[in-house]
Structure 1
């Protein structure tokens, strides 16, 4: 590891205790001395390590050890998870979580009693697996899906939001994860989320569902590519880890129709509706333009699925089109910046 500058030491030191537990200098202490123009104690056995810096693998181990130490204060454990999350923003560090045996410990933290720890852990998981097929596969293998689905119904909005983020990262272009999600009854927690008073969560869920519908269509419409002629000794990881199981994308559009999720979304968009589908924290969900845009895009994505779901709520779809095209001088579709063409095409078939 390269020498750290005073600024880098300060960057790392901001989130660490001033001294190491054994009384030797920490990165923060050395950085503070340098910034103040004080000469560090050359006899301090912790000085060299503080100046040179520990390897990022060492720091990951230390932060995770603090995070999993139930005797430590919740604030300290959350700080450690924050530090850990910053380290695994680097893809190589995220991929090292598996060979370093860190996934079981991270998974266990989703079962912590403190919602702050649950939230910070879900954020760690989401960061580790975001656009990282190897980490996605490792996370699924270590059973993070079930607790994330459970925590999506947490009483704490912060936990809900971070779990939605982690789920989106896990299911992205990963048909085996989507299949496991469906088998585990994942549609039910999403149904509850779309009737919650957490508008941020509702936005995240409809966006996630839109991505799942679209990626299914993309995967099924892509022309089959011939298997490349690879040498016998060619490493298997030349194929993305999220595609190695050979699982076909589940039909998400059909699942939304079968489970009633599409009806829930439509009831949140149509005027004159009442109840938890239509209202969120006392306000009409359709009045939030961000949510309304994302939810409408989900409906349009379903209508572009191939094949179309076998049964669709046609009266509600017709009502949605009427709402999108009114008023004539400034239609709602224009305000939401959505193209209702798929809806028109479907209703005129």
Structure 2
């Protein structure tokens, strides 16, 4: 395995001297490197992790290893093997790598590993600084957009349908991320979209009550989300907004007058896009707006 790693590093760098020192590889090892060979998935995960953590390996080679690792852990059994093979610690340590591309790759792995996978969510929760690290990366304005987007992707999957994780997320003031992004005029649409995805994942996991709505109003979250209908054109973002609103309507939340006015104006703005938006969420919000219009008309 060590010889395979040395040969791979030398070959990727075009270092002929290093390749000569590594010597010729056994054909079986070459088959393993390029075609997967007969190695099982845990062995391939170990090989990828060695490359990811090796200090002498260049960034491009590490990124290939990260991609390979993520493809492997798309299988639930392999995702759960991250814990069994004691790989969460090295993955979390790699979040401190100086390369933003590598940090992005690790965050993508975290999000994929825990997606619809409660055992992996449970395992991740054991690492007390893990959630805090991901929150910090999502919140850091000095980080690249790609890092922050992937951090939010990871957070959505970490807290979705996992009450204990959602509780810890709230205790770490993770909800503070949402208004900071939504109220930032310079924030990219994909960043806002992921922020709303985190919010809906959180609300779908916890009780949506008056206290929660008061908190969201206090930070201007509800108003900022509704405002996206008037000022954003990204279809993915608009779908997230409609899903958030549909979630609130299902919970029986009542909007105040400012929110209703903003919702009316915003919904009129997106009507030409209705055939390209999620039908169920669009209809739910549309029905609500019509009812509010009738109520207002009758009260005059």
> TM-score range, shorter-chain basis?
0.7 to 0.9
Structure 2 match to 1:198: 188
How many Å apart are 1:334 and its aligned residue? 4.3
Query: Quick check: 1:151–1:159 contact (8 Å CA) kept in 2?
Result: yes
Matches within 5 A, 1:87-236: 87-142=72-127, 143-152=129-138, 153=140, 154-194=142-182, 195=184, 196-216=186-206
Q: Quote how far apart the aligned CAs of 1:297 are.
A: 3.1
Post-superposition shift, 1:252?
A: 5.2
What number of residue pairs does the alignment pair up? Answer: 270
Q: Secondary structure of 2:83's partner?
A: coil
The answer to whether the 8 Å contact 1:207/1:294 transfers is: yes
Give the equivalent residue in structure 2 for 1:281: none
Q: CA deviation digits over 1:244-303, x for unaligned, max 9? A: xxxxx9975454234321122133334xxxxxxxxxxxxx42x33432332133234223
Aligned pairs for 1:60-71 within 5 A = 60-71=45-56
Whole-angstrom distance in 1 between the partners of 2:48 and 2:202:
34
CA offsets 1:87-117 (integer angstroms, 9 cap, x no match): 2122111111112111111111111111011
What's the RMSD between the two structures over aligned residues?
A: 3.6
Aligned to 1:237: none
Q: Relative to 1, partners in 2 of residues 1:333 and 1:103: Cα closer, same or farther, differing over 3 Å? A: same
> Is the 8 Å Cα contact of residues 111 and 154 (structure 2) preserved in structure 1?
yes
Structure with greater helix share of residues: 2
The normalised TM-score by structure 1 is: 0.66
Seen in structure 2, the aligned counterparts of structure 1 residues 331 and 86 have a Cα distance that, compared at 3 Å, is closer
1:121 deviation in Å? 0.2
**Cα distance change on mapping 1:30 and 1:266 into 2, 3 Å:** closer
Deviation (angstroms), 1:24: 2.0
Map of 2:5 onto structure 1: none
Secondary structure in 1 matching 2:227? helix
Tell me, yes or no, if structure 1 residue 303 matches structure 2 residue 249: yes
Question: Does 1:315 find its partner at 2:258?
Answer: yes
**Aligned-residue offset at 1:167:** 1.1
Q: 3-state SS of the aligned residue for 2:26?
A: coil
Closer, same or farther: CA 28–203 of 1 in aligned 2, 3 Å:
farther
Q: Find the residue that maps to 1:23 and give its secondary structure.
A: coil
Matched, 1:324 2:284: no
CA deviation vs aligned residue, 1:3-52 (integer Å, no higher than 9, x gap)? xxxxxxxxxxx9x969995632366734899x9xxxxxxxxxxxxxx85x
Compared with structure 1, are the counterparts of its residues 294 and 29 closer, same or farther at alpha carbon in structure 2 (3 Å cutoff)?
same
Name the CA shift for 1:27/1:302 in 2 (closer, same or farther; >3 Å). Answer: farther
Match of 1:265 in 2: 225
Cα 1:31/1:193, change in 2 over 3 Å: same
Considering only CA atoms, is the larger Rg found in Structure 1 or Structure 2? 1
Q: For residues 215 and 86 of structure 1, do their structure 2 counterparts lie closer, same or farther at Cα, with a shift above 3 Å needed?
A: same
**SS in structure 1 opposite 2:84?**
coil
Indicate conservation of the 8 Å contact 1:179/1:250, yes or no. Answer: no
How far apart, CA to CA, are the structure 1 residues paired with 2:289 and 2:173?
29
